[in-house]
Structure 1
Amino acid sequence: MLNLQDIEQAAQRLQGHLLNTPCVASQTLSQLTGAQIYLKFENLQYTASFKERGACNKLAQLSEAERRRGVIAMSAGNHAQGVAYHAQRLGIRAVIVMPRFTPGVKVERTRGFGAEVVLHGDTLDESRTHALALAEREGLVFVHPYDDEAIVAGQGTVGLEMMQAVPDLDMLVIAVGGGGLIAGVATAAKAIKPGIEVIGVQTARFPAMVNAIKGTHYPQGTSTIADGIAVSRPGVITQAIIAHRVNDLLLVDEGDIEQAIVMLLEIEKTLVEGAGAAGLAALLKYPARFAGKKVGLVLCGGNIEPLLLAAIIARGMVRAGRLARIKVGARDVPGSLAKITATVADAGANIDEVHHQRAFTMLSAQNVEIELVIQTRGRSHIAQVLQALQSEGFEATEQF
């Protein structure tokens, strides 16, 4: 089984080729969660993901004959970019097979690193099958995203750096898809500090590793905002390491991940994708599990579709009560809308949207229903706005 020496050798190969990313305390997140949180900013890598560690380690060990043949990989995005970037740097041909619905930002960045991108299949399994067929047909070296000891050793350098930066960590909380990152991190961390706890986090929509390790039978979904860990089949190598070296695996929901993305953006001013927020999502969902502990989180990736990010931010504002939709009933006469908007303004809220509804309403024909989307300071402020409208004689309610 993979050992600390393998990871230390990987660290030597990677030296000078990628960042030893910051691992720093977050005072605000620590106060909010009740744990002492240290963040490892892997989203600051050149490809915005830890994945290039494993890719670089794997490619650096190819023979000259293998380099001439070229490499092929299947990936939803981050592994693709890692392989493409380091293959370009080393002068190796790279072919990347990606599922057809991979976020456009990841597809374009992969192409930007000089790789030949093939969009095939609706799932990673279908992409894998096609990639293996192409590897056979064209004589390419297959670079697996997680089920390869060289890949796992490269990812394990994250754990090595975290233990060097903060030796007294009590726990490491790591997102889990195929298991390459947590297998490598657990190998390094447990060798350096045997008593440390390593906790894995999967999205409830893709619980393959939880099912494999715990013998559960949670159903698998079809999509998740944490597409980087949307893996339906755990690795053989990684599963064996996880069973031996990981203390526990937890599941988080889509809403937990959304909340964590918004918190990291707002509090830490750092952008993460769904997988990158999974660790914090676990602390938000299971605070008692981590209370009082010194916890290391890996922000494992920052590649997220801009439109998805915009939707997540808006939904986060709704959950926090900072964006609200209210319905106001009023007489359909000149000046009513002006009075409503003035009342909202006097209450300190800002109006985003206004919509009149005359036909689809149960109000009398002389009345109009006005729907407002407003920016507020929070739940109590929404109540103040509603009270102000009602005190002016309007029927006003919040819509959910």
Structure 2
Amino acid sequence: MTDLAAILAANARLEGHVRRTPLLESPFLNDIAGRRVLVKPECLQHTGSFKFRGAWSAISALPEEQRAKGVLAYSSGNHAQGIAYAARAHGIPAVIIMPDNAPTLKLENTRALGAEVVTYDRAGGESREAIGAAIAIERGLTLIRPYDEPMVIAGQGTTGLEIAAQATEMGIITAEVLVCCGGGGLTSGIALALEGKAPDMTVRPVEPQGFDDVARSLRAGTIQSNPSEVGLCDAILTKQPGEITFPIMHRLCGAGIAVSDIETLDAMAQAFLRLKIVAEPGGAVALAAALYHGDELDADTVIAVVSGGNVDPVVFGRALARMG
């Protein structure tokens, strides 16, 4: 299982390969939120999302002989690109199983990074897990799951190490850390890192309304699922939290927050206008919670992770048009 030691080890393996993304602040966003808002822009990470961290962590942790045979992953796009990029850098083959309705940009980028893409019918109910397991066995590839994978969680947890160090440099000890949450890899990784390095900070998972399986699971104490995985925030629309990630979140996280698609689009526009960063819908929900759900927050300072920026141009246009 993942713990602080695993996160610190992943951090060492990522040294010289990962981008240490900053904490950004805008007085305009602080005014909207009514409190101090710091933004961790993982949209500036390699391949445009935090997923590179977990991909590199998992691939670099494999024994050399096993790694050389290649890896396989399933993803709607960001984990796909992270695995493809890390695999290419290690000189190994990668096969990525992606939904056929994934954003075109993510499909094209994954292929451009050298991975073989196999599509499946997500809307029709095809199982990416079953397809992935079959291909992995047939080709001798190592399957790297997008969130329920200890070394992936460890890699994502390095985001939390950075938050703790950067906040300390700014004199911030207490804060609520809002994290865009799908299966919970990033959320659980950050929570574990902060437990060890910034114990006075509380992680809050943020999801789209109608896809708040993590928030409902935290309230119920057992894993709950979503009826659908199709919506605006494609990057974080998972069926349910992971078997590994949920116990971590249940132990360490505060209550989840659900934001509307309109709030998400507005947060994307504000991120662009005020911070000059591009956020995809699934990467903007944490900022949307910081800006528009102040009544659900307790801390005077919130840190919102913008987890990805691989947005379809048409969707980004919709967001910017709301500010016209």
| TM-score of the alignment, normalized to the shorter chain, above 0.5 | yes
Provide runs of 4+ in structure 1 moved above 4 Å.
Answer: 216-219
Match of 1:118, SS state, is: strand
The one-letter code matched in structure 2 to 1:13 is R
- Residues 60 and 206 (structure 1 numbering): CA distance in 2 closer, same or farther, change over 3 Å? same
**CA offsets 1:270-323 (integer angstroms, 9 cap, x no match):** 110012111111123321233661111111100011112112322x14xxxx4x
Where in structure 2 are the equivalents of 1:1-400 lying within 5 Å? Answer: 1-122=1-122, 126-167=127-168, 168=172, 169-215=174-220, 220-290=227-297, 293-314=300-321, 316-317=322-323, 322=324
Provide, for residues 58-98 of structure 1, a one-character-per-residue CA deviation record: whole Å limited to 9, x for no partner.
00011122122211000000000000001000011100000
How many Å separate the matches in 2 of 1:74 and 1:43? 20
SS state at 1:9 partner:
helix
> Quick one: distance in 2 between partners of 1:26 and 1:129?
45
Amino acid in structure 2 at the alignment position of 1:45: Q
CA apart distance, 1:220: 3.3
Would you say the 8 A contact 1:35–1:290 is kept in 2?
A: no
One-letter amino acid matched to 2:128: S
| Residue identity opposite 1:143 in structure 2 | I
For 1:218 and 1:30, the matched residues in 2 are separated by 34
C-alpha distance in 2 between matches for 1:129 and 1:204: 28
Q: Aligned AA for 1:208?
A: D
Moved more, 145-154 or 28-37: 28-37
Quote how far apart the aligned CAs of 1:200 are. 0.6
Question: In 2, Cα distance between the equivalents of 1:184 and 1:218?
Answer: 21
Tell me: CA distance 1:125–1:186, structure 2 relative to 1, closer, same or farther (3 Å). Answer: farther
State TM-score, norm by structure 1: 0.76
Name the aligned partner's letter for residue 277 of structure 1.
A
Q: Distance in 1 between matches of 2:120 and 2:179?
A: 29
Alpha-carbon offset, residue 222 of structure 1: 4.6
Residues 205 and 224 in structure 1, CA contact (< 8 A), matched pair in contact too: no
Unaligned runs of 5+ in 2: none
Q: Distance in 2 between matches of 1:18 and 1:305?
A: 24
For the aligned residue pairs, the C-alpha RMSD in angstroms reads: 1.8
| Superposed displacement of residue 185, structure 1 | 0.2
Residue identity opposite 2:307 in structure 1: C
Q: Do the aligned partners of 1:33 and 1:291 also contact (CA within 8 Å) in 2?
A: no
Q: Closer, same or farther in 2 for the Cα pair 1:135/1:219, shift >3 Å?
A: closer
Q: How many angstroms does 1:53 deviate by?
A: 0.2
Letter in structure 2 aligned against 1:166: A
The one-letter amino acid paired with 1:209 is V
- What is the aligned residue count? 317
> Residue 97 of structure 1 contacts residue 128 of structure 1 at CA under 8 Å; is this kept in 2?
no
Deviation at 1:193, TM superposition (A): 2.3
Higher strand share: 1
Structure 1 residue 104 displacement after superposition: 0.5
Q: Deviations over 1:230-271 (max 9, x none)?
A: 001221100010011111111111111111111111121211
Structure 1 residue 205, shift from structure 2 partner: 2.7
Equivalent position amino acid for 1:300 in 2: S
Q: Secondary structure, in 3 states, of the residue corresponding to 2:81?
A: helix
Please give the alpha-carbon distance, in whole angstroms, between the structure 1 residues aligned to 2:86 and 2:114.
Answer: 10
Q: Distance in 1 between matches of 2:69 and 2:26?
A: 46
Structure of higher RCO (CA pairs closer than 8 Å, 6+ residues apart): 2
Give the AA of the match of 1:311. Answer: R
Residues 179, 206 of structure 2: 8 Å contact kept = yes
Rounded Cα–Cα distance in structure 2 between residues aligned with 1:182 and 1:125: 27
- The answer to whether the 8 A contact 2:215-2:255 is kept is no
2:226, 2:240 within 8 Å by CA — same for their partners in 1?
no
Distance 1:51 1:222, change over 3 A: closer
Q: CA deviation at 1:39?
A: 1.0
C-alpha separation in 1, matches of 2:66 and 2:160: 29
SS across alignment from 2:266: helix
Say if 1:271 and 1:166 are closer, same or farther in 2 by CA, change over 3 A: same
